Homo-oligomer: A and B are copies of this chain.
Amino acid sequence: MNNITKSLLEMVSDIFGTPQGAYNIREDGECAGRQSTEQVEIIPKTDKPGIDIMVKAGTKGEKVYIPACITHSHVDDLVYNDFYIGEDADVTIVAGCGVHTDGSEDSQHNGIHRFFIGKNARVIYLEKHIGTGDGSGKRIINPQTVVHMDEGSYMEMDTSQIKGVDSTKRVTRAKVAGGAKLVIKEKIMTHGDQTAETDFVVDLDGVDSGADLISRSVARDRSKQVFRSKINGNTQCTGHSECDAIIMDDGVVSAIPELTANDVDAALIHEAAIGKIAGEQLIKLMTLGLTEEEAEAKIIEGFLK
């Protein structure tokens, strides 16, 4: 594992040294370390790049690390990771991604993740994305996440793109069975000429299923963001989608939610607000002694927390 990977791992996965528990570290498209545990087995796929992560039924409190790093320009990485979460399991999955470019050629990581979440299982999924390096080559991260949730299961996806990612297209598809609940919390900050596109489609298929999609984003400089979220209420269910965006400089943000109630017992709500930082907020912090830039930074920090 090279030093750039070590540094990226600290930023995206809070991994310092060797992680506790099951892990698979991907470095420039290769495996840089793998460990299974009694409860969590990680098996490399034989037909294509990627791994199967098998979490035994009833597993409690384990953390699974599956970060991916790219450490130089001209890497085009595509990986298929499938997660099979046994019934009643309760696990946290840490899946950060860092892309570093040092030259003029682009590098990209495309991770296609599928989740099969068993009955009453509970998954916390943490995904931090970052781009680093002095290279002019673009840092591109395109995550695709497909989620199948069995009865009574719970999944919380906590995703954030901190900085340095030039282009991202984030696609998430979920099918939610009876009594199951999906929570997605997304935070994105873009700057320079970056582009970020988010595309959620959630089918609430089971009685008393639920979804809560919360996106907070900041678009600075000339960056552009598009947020799409589609919730289909196909039975008695509750869906909520919320998109709050702060624009600065010449940043551009589009919010395109879509709610469809296909059943009389579907209750769906959406809210979106796009605007700049309120002048009063800035002035209040500036009267406390902060410069305008410090005040802006403080407000954004609070907004994305």
- With contacts A254-B259, A256-B257, A260-B254 known, is A275 near B267, CB below 8 A? yes
Which residues of chain B are near A270, meaning CB under 8 Å?
Answer: 255, 257, 270-273
A250-301: which have CB < 8 Å to B? Answer: 250-262, 264-276
Chain B residue with Cβ nearest A227: B259
Chain A 222-250 interface 0/1 with B at a Cβ cutoff of 8 Å (1 = within): 00000000000100000000000101111
The reply to whether B260 and A272 contact each other, CB–CB distance below 8 Å, is no
The reply to whether B265 and A276 contact each other, CB–CB distance below 8 Å, is yes
A274–B252 Cα distance when bound, in Å, is: 28
- With contacts A256-B256, A257-B256, A274-B259 known, is A264 near B248, CB below 8 A? yes
The reply to whether B264 and A254 contact each other, CB–CB distance below 8 Å, is no
The reply to whether B247 and A275 contact each other, CB–CB distance below 8 Å, is no
Which residues of chain B are near A250, meaning CB under 8 Å?
Answer: 264
Selected from B249, B261, B274, the residue in CB contact (under 8 A) with A268 is: B274
A90–B275 Cα distance when bound, in Å, is: 33
Which residues of chain B are near A268, meaning CB under 8 Å?
Answer: 255, 272-275
The 5 closest A-B pairs by CB, nearest first: A267-B275, A254-B260, A261-B274, A270-B272, A256-B258
**Contacts A254-B260, A255-B259, A261-B274 given; 8 further ones with Cβ under 8 A?**
A250-B264, A253-B260, A255-B270, A265-B276, A266-B275, A268-B274, A269-B274, A270-B273
